[in-house]
Amino acid sequence: MELGLLLLRLLLAALLIGHSTQKLFGWFGGTGTAQIFDTWGFTPGARMVVLAGALELAGAVSIAAGFLLPGGAAVVIGTMIVASVATAPNGFWAQRGGCEVPFCYGALALILTVTGPGPWSVDHALGLSTGLSGPLWGLIVLLVGSAAALPPLYRRRRVLKARAQSTAR
């Protein structure tokens, strides 16, 4: 189980690093992300891409190291909620541009919060792993991540509503 938690943390962190570097550096086919963000209503797209990429990278580092894991998980969950809402109109499955990938990343971050980072982590080395994990911490992290997702989603809603009104004129 110890090795399994480490591998799960490292796998999720690697995927999040790939996701963030697509946004921040255009790696792995990530060019044009600012235009996509603008289309989704996250304006200005270029700034929002940097913010999303930086948050994903910070969450990835926290999860990889198992350092203050609930904080990193909350960041990942909040970011993935925003991404899930933007892609949900395409359905669930990724092949149609749906929310499958951000949903899974957020769910894995939540699961790691409930289980804890395991003994091969900074939190464990500092004696924090048992105090910062479990179902209550999972609920707290889910609530904090959800609350953090509300401002960009509210702003997106306003942008999309204004666009719809200007198009109707």
User: What are the two backbone dihedrals, phi and then psi, of residue 82, each rounded to the nearest 5 degrees?
Assistant: -60, -45
Radius of gyration of the chain (CA): 17
pLDDT digits (tens, 9 = 90+) for 2-59: 999 999 999 999 999 999 999 999 888 878 899 999 999 999 999 999 999 999 999 9
pLDDT digits (tens, 9 = 90+) for 77-110: 999 999 999 999 999 999 999 999 999 999 999 9
| Residues 74, 91: Cα–Cα separation, whole Å | 24
Environment class of 122 (CB within 10 Å of its CB; exposed 0-12, middle 13-18, buried 19+):
middle
| Residues 147, 59: Cα–Cα separation, whole Å | 16
Decide which of 157 and 130 is more confident: 157
Rounded to the nearest integer, the mean pLDDT of the chain is 95
Give me the residue spans of the domains in the chain. Answer: 2-164
Which pLDDT score is estimated for 131? 83
pTM of the model: 0.94
* Mean pLDDT calculated for residue range 128-147: 92
pLDDT digits (tens, 9 = 90+) for 41-50: 999 999 999 9
Distance (Å) of CA 68 to CA 103, 146, 158: 22, 18, 34
Alpha helices in 66-134 (DSSP H): 69-87, 100-115, 122-125
CB atoms within 10 A of CB 63: 31
Task: Please give the biggest Cα pair distance in the chain.
Answer: 61
H or E element that contains 34: helix 33-40
